[in-house]
Amino acid sequence: MNGTTNKVLLIGNLGDDVKLHNFDEQNCIGRFPIATTESYIARTGERITETEWHNVVTRNKLAELCDRYLKKGDKVFVEGRIKTRKWEDDNGQMRYTTEIVANSIEFLTPKSESEQRSATSDSSTKEQKTTDTDKKDTTDDPFLDTGEDDLPF
């Protein structure tokens, strides 16, 4: 194999709310920690639980979506890559931080009905505003389901 791969797949729970940092009107970064937990039974019969914390970084539209819909405790599936940053602290010491730069995030925690209703009403209002001017007459659409089949069985 000639190439290398830097790919991370994590399923975990948010340890804190998303912190959104806006740089200008078009660019922003969202940061949040997620915890992944592994449990096993030791030779002594004792159940051992180990938790790893991962710092996740998202950018622009994905960061805005995470800020809007995620909160502490939510379960997410994160796909991305590992990146280590080098920075200088207030005392002049060089520090290193390893982060997961997310390409995609799936929200795994189901929302309560009230949260779904508010999200649905917000999105349907936006969709209605954008589609009202673009509505087409679909009565002559040949792919419109009329409930009748031409199939012989």
Q: What is the per-residue pLDDT across 56-94, written as a single tens digit (0 to 9) for each? A: 999 999 999 999 999 999 999 999 999 999 989 999 999
Nearest to 21 by CA among 64, 76, 80: 64
For residues 147 and 47, which has the higher predicted lDDT (pLDDT)?
A: 47
Confidence at residue 125, expressed as pLDDT on a 0 to 100 scale: 43
Residue 71 is classified by DSSP as: -
Single pTM value for the model: 0.68
The CATH number of the domain covering residues in 8-109: 2.40.50.140
Question: Tell me: the pLDDT tens digits for 4-20?
Answer: 999 999 999 999 999 99
Where in the chain are the domains?
Answer: 8-109
